[in-house]
Amino acid sequence: MKFKDGYWRMRPGVRAAYAAAAHDVTAEAASLRVLAPARPVTRRGDTIDGPVLRVELSSPMPDVIRVRTVHFAGSVPAAPAFEVRDDAPAAEVAVDAGHASLTSGALTVRLRRDAPWEMTFSAGGRELTRSGGRSLGAMTDPGGRHFLVEQLRLGAGELVYGLGERFGPLVRNGQSVDIWNDDGGTASELAYKNIPFYLTNRGYGVFVNHPGRVSFEVGSETVSRVQFSVEGHDLEYLVIHGPTPADILRRYTALTGRPALPPAWSFGLWLSTSFTTDYDEATVSSFVDGMAERDIPLSVFHFDCFWMRRYRWCDFEWDPEVFPDPEGMLRRLKERGLRVCVWINPYIGQASALFDEGARLGHLLRRPDGTVWQDDHWQAGRALVDFTSPAARAWYAGKLRALLDMGVDAFKTDFGERVPTDVAYADGADPERMHNYYSLLYNRTVHDVLAERGPAVLFARSATVGGQRLPVHWGGDCESTFEAMGESLRGGLSLGLAGFGFWSHDIGGFEGLPDAAVFKRWVAFGLLSSHSRLHGSGSYRVPWLFDEEAVDVLRSFTRLKARLMPYLYGAAVQAAEEGLPVMRAMQLEFPGDRACDHLDAQYMLGPDLLVAPVLSGEGEVSYYVPAGEWTRLLDGEVVTGPAWRTERHGFDSLPLLVRPGAVLPVGARDDRPDYDYAAGVTLQVYRPADGGSRTVTVPTVDGGVGTVFEVSRAGDRVRARRVAGAPAPWSLLLAGVREARHARLETTPGGVRVTAGADTNEIEIILEGAA
C-alpha cells in the first residue's frame, strides 16, 4: 500500500506521524523499550499532544531480533496469532548517553538516542539494514483508517526474495505485494500461499509477524527501501541473520515450524481423474490397467471433486450412481499396491445433509447477526466450516475418519483462500486476521487426522505462516502452456524461499488440453519435482491419449525418480530437519555467484542435482552452470562452468547435472518409491577433489538414519567406507572414469564400478593417470 506521492509529499488525505526520536529508553535484562515521539523533544512543551510510538526490542532466539511497535495499546487484537518459538535467550543490552543496543548471537540492533530516529541492524561488523528518517510511523488514510508502517533500507545491488508462492519474477524488487490469500491462478499477481517473510542477498531476512493483510512495497514506493504496513495499532517484525540464505531459512523455520516428513510412497507418481471429466470405477480401472500394461509405476490414485454428488460438496459421501461399491473399489485398488487420495474442501453445499447438521450444531461460520454465512460461489448456498471452534474441528475430522476407515490414505485439501471478513467467529477472532489464518486451521485439522494413523500427506493449495508444517502443497490452477509451466516453477521456487520444503504442480497444466510437446516437457519437470501428479481440468492426463512417445517419457522419468529416491528422500529428511526445500532456487545454493541471483527457470533438486526444465516444444533450453566440472546425469557428458549453455534436447532428456564432488546414492529399484534404499545402493561419485571427504547417509524408508558411508579421495585412491548400518550389498561407481584398478572392477557406460557383498565395509579404487 502506497502512502506517498513521490518521495517528499504524502498522497491526498493521508496524514503521517513518523518516529522522529528515541526520547525515552528503558533497559531491562534482555530487552529495550523506547518511546518514539513523532517530533523531537527539545522542551517540556513538546511532550504535549501528538502520537508517541512504543517500540520494544527483544530476541526470541539467537541471531533473531524482534521489533514490536504499538500506537494505541488498547486497540491491539489478540487473536489469531502465529505460533512463533520464543526461547527468550540471553541477549546483551547496552545503553550509554548516545546509543542503546541489543545483541543476540552475531546480530545487533543499535538505536540512536534522541533525534533523528535511526535504528541500525548489523552483524560481523557490517550493516545489514536500517530504519531511518520517515521510515517507522503511523498513517491515517482519507477514510480514517489507521496503519503502522516501517521502511528498511535496501543497499545498492540488494535483491529481495520470498513473500510466498508468487508466479512473477523471482526477485521481488519493484513489486507491490499484498499478503492476502486469493484464488487467482498462476497467471496473476494474486497468490494462494502468502507469507509475510522475505530474505535478501545481503545476509538477512525479515518476518512480519501479522496474520492478516500485510502490504509490501519492495522498492516500489521508495526505491531504496522495503516498506511493509498493516492496518491497526500493532506492528511486529523480526530481523533474522544468516549470513547465508540457507542459514536464514534454518532460523526462520526454527521460529515458525519445519515440515513434517511425508511418507516415502507419496514421492511416486500420482494419477488423477481430473476435475470435470466423466469417470466411474470402469474409467479408474482402465487408467490403472493402462499404466500397468505400459510398465509405468503408479503409486497413488486421486479422485477429484465428482467422487461426491453434484451440489453436495462436501458431504463426504460417494456418488452412488457412479460408485455403487466404494469400499470394494478401494479394496481392489489397494490390492494392486496403490494408495488413494480424495478431494475435499472446507465448504458445505446447502443441498448436503451436512449443511443442516452443521448449522444445527453451530459448526458453520456465521454473520454478525447470527445467521449462517452463505453465497452461491462454487456450490449453491455454500457455507464454511468454522475451524476456530474445537467442536467444529472434531465434527469435520470425524467425517474424514470414516473415509480413512474405508481405505483412503490422503486428502487433497483444495480451496481455503476466499474467506469472508463480514463474519463472526466462534472464538471471537478478528475476521481480517483470520482471512489467511483460516487455511492453517483447515489444513491442520485434516493433517492431524491423517497423522493419527502414521506419516501424513496432504495435497494443499492454500497456506499461511506455519502451513509449511503440513505438506505437501501444489501450485494451483495453471494453463496448459509452456508459459504456465514457467509460472509454476517460479511459484514453487518462491515458496521454497518462504520455508516450504515440499511442492508440486499439475503435470501438463490444469486449464485446457496441452499439446503433446507441452505434456512431455512437463512430465520431465514434474518427475524431477518433490512430488509428482498428473492432473487436469476438463481432460484426462494419461499419457497414451497424447502419443506413444509420451508413454515412454513418463515411464523413463518415473523410473528415474524411483532410482533417485535414496538421494531424494535424504533431501526430504533435510527439509524436515533443517527447513531447506527439496527444490531450491539457485541463489539459495550459490549465494556468492551473482549470475544465480535472478535465475528462475532452473533449480537445484536437493543439494547436488541441477535441473533446467525445457520450456519449448523444439527442445532448445538456455541455462547457467556454476563454477566447476559438472556431469550430465543422463549421458555422462562433462559441462564446465561458470558458463551459460544453450542446448537442444529430445523429449526424453533435459539438462540434469550433478554437482562436482557429489556422491549420489542411487537405488537398486525403479518400480516404486518406497523400498529398502540401502539394499544394493550405488554410491555414484562425481569428480572428487583430492583431499576431499563426504559423508553420505542413506535414509530408511521411514526417514531414519539407515546406512552411513564416508567417501574420500587421497591422491590416486578413492575410498568408500560403510561406517554404520546393517549389512547389505552395495556398489561404488566413479562417474566418467575409464582407467582404474581393483580386483573386481567393472567398466560401465557411466564409469568404473565395484560391487561389494553385504559383509564388505570398504572399497578402494586406484585411479590411473590421476592428476
| 771 class by beta-carbon count within 10 Å (0-12 exposed, 13-18 middle, 19+ buried) | exposed
Q: Rounded to an integer, what is the distance from CA 445 to the centroid of its chain?
A: 19
Task: Give the CA angle between residues 574, 576, 577 to the nearest 5°.
Answer: 65
d(CA 429, CA 212): 11
d(CA 203, CA 198): 11
Q: How many CA atoms lie within 13 A of 448 on its CB side?
A: 11
In the block, residue with C-alpha cell 512463533: 84
Beta strands in 24-174 (DSSP E): 24-27, 32-37, 52-61, 64-70, 92-95, 99-104, 107-112, 119-123, 126-131, 137-140, 146-153, 160-164
Length of the chain: 771
CA distances from 52 to 33, 77, 137, 231 (A): 13, 19, 10, 17
Are 466 and 258 contacting, i.e. CB atoms less than 8 angstroms apart?
Answer: no
Are 738 and 752 contacting, i.e. CB atoms less than 8 angstroms apart?
Answer: yes
Which are the catalytic amino acids?
Answer: 414, 417, 477
d(CA 458, CA 89): 35
Q: Rounded to an integer, what is the distance from CA 650 to the centroid of its chain?
A: 30
Contacts of 483 (CB under 8 A, 6+ apart): none
Ramachandran bin of 606, using left for φ above 0, alpha for ψ from -120 to 50, beta for the remaining angles:
left
CA distances from 759 to 82, 668, 756 (A): 51, 18, 8
- Pairing between strand 506-507 and 603-605? unpaired
- Pairing between strand 99-104 and 225-231? unpaired
Which residues are 709's β-sheet partners?
696, 722
d(CA 365, CA 445): 16
DSSP tally for the chain: helices H, then strands E: 11, 47
d(CA 267, CA 529): 9
Are 382 and 419 contacting, i.e. CB atoms less than 8 angstroms apart?
Answer: no
d(CA 416, CA 436): 8
Q: Which of 649, 688, 686, 643 is nearest to 666 (CA)?
A: 686
> What is the DSSP code string of 350-400?
TTSHHHHHHHHHT-B-B-TTSSBP-B-SSSTTBEEB-TTSHHHHHHHHHHH
First to last CA, the chain: 59
Rg (CA), the chain: 28
d(CA 253, CA 501): 10
CA distances from 69 to 64, 238, 571 (A): 16, 12, 39
